[in-house]
Structure 1
Amino acid sequence: MRVAIIGAGISGLALAYYLQKLGVRYDLFEAGEQVGGMLKSCQQGPYKFELGPSSLHLTPELEELLQELKLQEEKVTPPALEAHRYILKNGKYQKLPISPLGMLFHPFFDWRTKLRIARETQCEKKEVKEETLSHFFSRRFGQEVVDYLVKPMVAGFYAGDPDQLLLEKTFPFLQKLEQEHGSVLKGLVQAPEMKRRPVFTLKSGLASLSEAIASKLISLHLGQKIEMVHKLHGKYLLSIQNDVEGLSDEEFDAVVIALPAHPAADLLNYVAPGLSASLFNVTYAPMAVVHTAYRRADVKFPLNGFGALHPKRENTFTCGSVWTSSLFPHAVPDKEVLFTTFVGGMQWKEHLNLPRQEIMEKVHAELAALYGISAKEPVFQHYHRWAKALPQPDIFIQDVHTLAEALEEDQLYCCANWVAGPSVSDCISFAKNMAHKIKSQRPSF
């Protein structure tokens, strides 16, 4: 059996790695000269920062992968204060309690909301078709929970708007708790304890993870863009631009699409027109990432935690910031602090219509106001924009998932974050499972 994988982002790389471990022949094609997709690390002078994910959650698959790639010595974990998360309310940052039940004894919510939370166990169980996150949390916990907890958290995780995102595609375990226990709180009490996954980065940057995987692959082809996928007599043929290796003449038993949704739609137009049409409807959130450094002496706020998020109701310019220097002090010089600030996403996307310099100036002005920063300007600032940062698991993703699953019978697979989930750990776990699925479906001779 021979498999063609198209796209060397983290999903395509991980799939190739696991297929190679299983002894399945593959060829991994990447149109560009670099691998890793949104895993992009940067160093400018003494400053180290990420343009994509600022850190990763340490899942069992990732921990095993780090060991196999001999990256354990590169791993950097933050101090215990990482568990502290803040939300802006009434113009000031308030620390959130770590446990859901802790909300009842914390001054963050109004007493009426606390009463609503306490009575959630009496709330009627319902099955709502295509229910959004906002609708689910509003009917079970009240609107203040939506405005001041769900909306900022979803903006941080999906760059999304919970008014549009589907519960079953984002947090299906909450839907399961309601249906099985009649209450989310009852379910959380009765369910096995859920441990918070620790976060980490790598000394050389998270891009070194994708580079380490790529270094192990024996059939990685860079600078080879796939222009079309054909199927003839049960085999797949690829039209390859700059095909110096003559791979267009090779036959493949299976093809895996590991591209963003819209490039995948262009590629599948001939061989899977139904999925292609659905992929064009996938919504992507735009996002700008601004890294800003100051002298520590100029910042009054203590920065003891992971970072802070901004509810839309607070009328801020940014979605919030990760306190990068608090998590990973090696990223900045001594006596300096570094903020990784996010602008845009689905809830604030109109802010990205401004010129780059104005966005950077507004980020500095907001940081100065919220954190008591006395400096007139930062000692360092960097801007990067993702026109299509994250795919949104909204109503349009339903058909995509259904059609993608049906095509697996024809040995045409999809392995990307629009099916796996938004995080790197989601993509790696999905790729590992897919590798075993492909091996199990190969013909036996």
Structure 2
Amino acid sequence: MLESLIVGAGLSGLATAHRLQQRDRQFLITEQDDRPGGVMISKQRDGFLWEEGPNSFQPNPILLKLAVEVGLGDDLVLADRRLPRFVYWQGRLLPVPMSPGAAVRSPLLSFGGKLRALLGALGFVPPKMGGMESGSEETIWQFIHRHLGAEVAERLIAPFVSGVYAGDVHGLSMAAAFRRIYELEEKGGGLVAGAIATRRQSQPTPPDPSLPQTKPGELGSFREGMEMLPKAIAARLGDRLRCQWTLTGLERLPNGYRAQFDTPTGPETVETRSLVLAIPAHRVAPLLAPLTGTAQEVLEAIPYPPVACVVMAYPDQAWRRPLQGFGNLNPRHQGIRTLGTIWSSTLFPGRCPQGWRMISSFIGGATDPAVGEMDREAIAQQVHADLSKMLVKPEFKPEVLAVRVWPKAIPQYTLGHGDRLHHLTTHLDQFPGLFLCSNYTDGVALGDCIRRGLAAAERVETVL
């Protein structure tokens, strides 16, 4: 019997396996696809290097340490943190203010909107909207509207949420999606006071000299793309990683679990003392149904809207403006269907041939699920039409490098998400050795995936 079985070789599952390998544990990690890495997909062709999933990461110490441990310390590349972000508003790309002085001068907010945001940030905040009881849950829209006003909510926060979660600010829980910001009100009464109180209470961590040194606000990738990280972890796992293994059934044993797989060579059965399910909620739900209907019900309630990633290149002469910046986000109701665009070849130079610029656009999400029913050509045409209003001259046709449709992309932390997860966790306590480890729990960033995977390995250790 194995000590541990990890199902799913995305970044969370790979991080779990990496830590167990460091501890010299007996484990197996399986993946239903023919490659590890999950949504981390990097492609190259004709001098172009692009991503079809995550485009960058925040280089926090947990992620950097993992990269160094698997030999990627010298492959880290960092984007210029001074690159501006833009929001498309009333027919113009306007820079997002990144400092108090820039906020005062910004045309993105009216004078009244700026004053409302300032007063709210300082703690002049009305009670919860609509007579909500103290302690009741707010959507992101309700929280931001109450603290900073409608203009900030519509023009800054809503497009940001579309970029992070592909989500709807009117449906996502503020406490679940942005807990650290949500808790600032409790700590200080207002966002600024809460931030000051948090800073005073926190103990600064000295930088680790063994890790690459980064600056606040920088974003990272790797020399040959994001997929270098899962590939490097997988290379060290050897035959402990089995691809094209699809988990079809689970059975509880007196001292562990029995898992049935479909594999390229026929059915396989694995018995294990501990089981880590590092796969999306909609895949976990039917597997747990024979063990617990409660878990299935909770997991099936987590929505995953479709998102398409469209990577295009245009020649230098096609652009309406110099392409100097991180990218742009597009609030709803501005006549633009695309959620946002990353200016990829500016963010990480050297990823396209001379004379070209490359961008990655995202379309769909919770506010536009119909994108999931469109064919790839129609999606590319829609994105090009949107870009022609903002960035490129319409007479230039794009070189379409990729249209990757993710039918179930990012889990949505809707109202009640925290309570449902607490109920699920409490219920699963009666299944010792069974652990859930995926981004539907507590964070969708890559750093969250690694943190969660390492923590899962520690939990496995407690039952061995």
TM-score, normalized by length of structure 2?
0.89
Provide Cα deviations, 1:346-396, integer angstroms capped at 9, x if missing partner: 123334544432321222222122124264312444311111111101136
SS at match of 2:454: helix
Q: 1:179 aligns with which of 179, 186, 199?
A: 186
Provide the rounded CA distance (Å) in 1 between the counterparts of 2:44 and 2:381: 22
Equivalent position of 1:329 in the other structure: 349
Provide the rounded CA distance (Å) in 2 between the counterparts of 1:304 and 1:196: 20
| Match status 1:234 vs 2:255 | yes
* 2:6 partner letter: I
Equivalent position of 1:442 in the other structure: 463
SS at match of 1:312: coil
* 2:71 partner letter: K
Q: 1:236 to 1:294 in 2, by over 3 A?
A: same
* 1:241 partner letter: D
* 2:150 partner letter: Q
Equivalent position of 1:138 in the other structure: 145
Q: 1:243 to 1:276 in 2, by over 3 A?
A: farther
How far residue 146 of structure 1 moved from its aligned partner, in angstroms, is: 1.2
Structure 2 portions without partners, runs of 5+: 129-133, 205-214
Equivalent position of 1:66 in the other structure: 67
How far residue 102 of structure 1 moved from its aligned partner, in angstroms, is: 5.0
Structure 1 portions without partners, runs of 5+: none
Equivalent position of 1:296 in the other structure: 316
Task: For 1:68-217, list aligned pairs within 5 A.
Answer: 68-82=69-83, 84-99=84-99, 103-120=103-120, 121-124=123-126, 127-192=134-199, 196-217=216-237
The answer as to whether partners of 2:306 and 2:371 remain within 8 angstroms in 1 is no
Aligned residues: 440
Provide the rounded CA distance (Å) in 2 between the counterparts of 1:243 and 1:375: 48
Equivalent position of 2:359 in the other structure: 339
How far residue 420 of structure 1 moved from its aligned partner, in angstroms, is: 3.6
Q: 1:22 to 1:338 in 2, by over 3 A?
A: same
More displaced, 397-406 or 361-370?
Answer: 397-406
Provide the rounded CA distance (Å) in 2 between the counterparts of 1:243 and 1:88: 49
SS at match of 1:326: helix
More displaced, 94-103 or 154-163?
Answer: 94-103
Q: CA RMSD in A?
A: 2.3
* 2:331 partner letter: P
The answer as to whether partners of 2:173 and 2:417 remain within 8 angstroms in 1 is no
Report sequence identity in percent.
28
Equivalent position of 1:428 in the other structure: 450
The answer as to whether partners of 1:294 and 1:380 remain within 8 angstroms in 2 is no
Provide the rounded CA distance (Å) in 2 between the counterparts of 1:16 and 1:384: 28
* 2:260 partner letter: S
Q: 1:223 aligns with which of 244, 251, 254?
A: 244
| Match status 1:419 vs 2:426 | no
How far residue 243 of structure 1 moved from its aligned partner, in angstroms, is: 8.8
SS at match of 2:114: helix
The answer as to whether partners of 1:132 and 1:163 remain within 8 angstroms in 2 is yes
Q: Which runs of 4+ in 1 moved over 4 A?
A: 243-247
Provide Cα deviations, 1:150-176, integer angstroms capped at 9, x if missing partner: 110000000101111111111111221
SS at match of 2:408: strand
Equivalent position of 2:305 in the other structure: 285
Provide the rounded CA distance (Å) in 2 between the counterparts of 1:245 and 1:20: 27
Provide Cα deviations, 1:219-247, integer angstroms capped at 9, x if missing partner: 22222222111112232111222396996
Provide the rounded CA distance (Å) in 1 between the counterparts of 2:174 and 2:226: 30
Q: 1:99 to 1:432 in 2, by over 3 A?
A: farther
Provide the rounded CA distance (Å) in 2 between the counterparts of 1:270 and 1:380: 45
Q: 1:222 to 1:378 in 2, by over 3 A?
A: closer
Q: 1:41 to 1:427 in 2, by over 3 A?
A: same
SS at match of 2:398: coil
The answer as to whether partners of 2:167 and 2:412 remain within 8 angstroms in 1 is yes
Q: 1:438 to 1:125 in 2, by over 3 A?
A: farther
The answer as to whether partners of 1:39 and 1:52 remain within 8 angstroms in 2 is yes
TM-score, normalized by length of structure 1?
0.92
SS at match of 1:88: strand
More displaced, 87-96 or 203-212?
Answer: 203-212
SS at match of 1:107: coil
How far residue 6 of structure 1 moved from its aligned partner, in angstroms, is: 1.0
The answer as to whether partners of 1:124 and 1:182 remain within 8 angstroms in 2 is no
* 1:287 partner letter: V
